Structure 1
């Protein structure tokens, strides 16, 4: 059974600038914005277009040390992208699949970032605590991100 959770963050910068900085240049910006969560991001394959894979390394605040995610879709005009976890995290241990859909919407001179995370738990595995932890970390990251951008 698939489940999901959402997060929204308002940023005091134009949507196109947020999309470029926070998602297209995430490998440089992520570890600087939220070093207490992300220790590094490496492009594993591709050039940043759909099909590219990057590895995100996490600090001990996370219950796993890394994930590898594939960029499935990107629309530079609509400022949205979709990714899938292809390795790491709880993939294969607790979840069968995990995806994220991110959309940055203009809001005057600022922007609203919407994240939809969808996952499918392995049958019989309770992931309630893991989802709670993911939401807590997302909240920490959102506060830090919002105060920086």
Structure 2
């Protein structure tokens, strides 16, 4: 068994509180509306959006995956942090046992945000992950993030 960590970082002109409200707290509603090609729908199966909440994400057309079920492990609006685990779906395989992701939004010096994302993949046996394994998720995450950012710039009165 191995653990592989993948880190990514992006910047935004949107301040952390507003970005967190849109991207994390209302992401289940906003993401399918803004980037349906990446996420077709999000269905809350259990919970109220806080820790323990389970949601089913149905990915958009052309995605290599059909769906994933996520469990929210940490939801900390005060520190703009959200952690979730993939508990079911075709992203998990015979070789990947668990995926956990932390998203943290911090203030940037220019008044915008830095979004830091760390994903840990627990593999089965001696399976080795390569950069290719992360590429699809990285592209989808960038598409979603940029879609939300563009939406917020176009709608400056929302999520304040």
Shift of 1:10: 1.7
Match of 1:118 among 109, 120, 133: 120
Q: In 2 relative to 1, CA 49–143 (structure 1 residues): closer, same or farther, beyond 3 Å?
A: closer
Contact 2:4 2:129 in 1 (8 A): no
Aligned equivalent of 1:27:
28
Query: Which has the larger displacement, 128-137 or 64-73?
Result: 128-137
The residue number in structure 2 matching 1:62 is 63
Cα distance in 2 for partners of 1:112, 1:133 equals 21
Q: What is the TM-score normalised by the length of structure 1?
A: 0.88
Instruction: Give the structure 2 partner of residue 18 of structure 1.
Output: 19
CA RMSD of aligned residues (A): 1.8
User: How far did residue 112 of structure 1 move?
Assistant: 1.4
Instruction: Note the 1:41-120 alignment, pairs <5 A.
Output: 41-107=42-108, 108-120=110-122
Structure whose alpha-carbon radius of gyration is higher: 2
2: CA distance, partners of 1:40 / 1:66: 10
Q: Distance in 2 between matches of 1:141 and 1:49?
A: 21
Q: Which of 141, 147, 153 is matched with 1:138 structurally?
A: 141
Aligned to 1:147: 150
In structure 2, distance between residues paired with 1:96 and 1:78: 29
Normalising by the residue count of structure 2, what TM-score does the alignment of the two structures yield? 0.83
Q: Which runs of 5+ in 1 are unaligned?
A: none
Which SS does the other structure have where 1:57 is aligned?
A: strand
Alignment gaps of 5+ in structure 2 = 153-160
Q: Secondary structure at 1:29's aligned position in 2?
A: helix
Corresponding pairs, count: 149
Summarize the Cα distance change of 1:99–1:67 in structure 2 as closer, same or farther, 3 Å threshold. Answer: same
Note the alpha carbon deviations across 1:4-60, whole angstroms, 9 max, x for none. 212222222221111111101111111122211100111110111111111111023
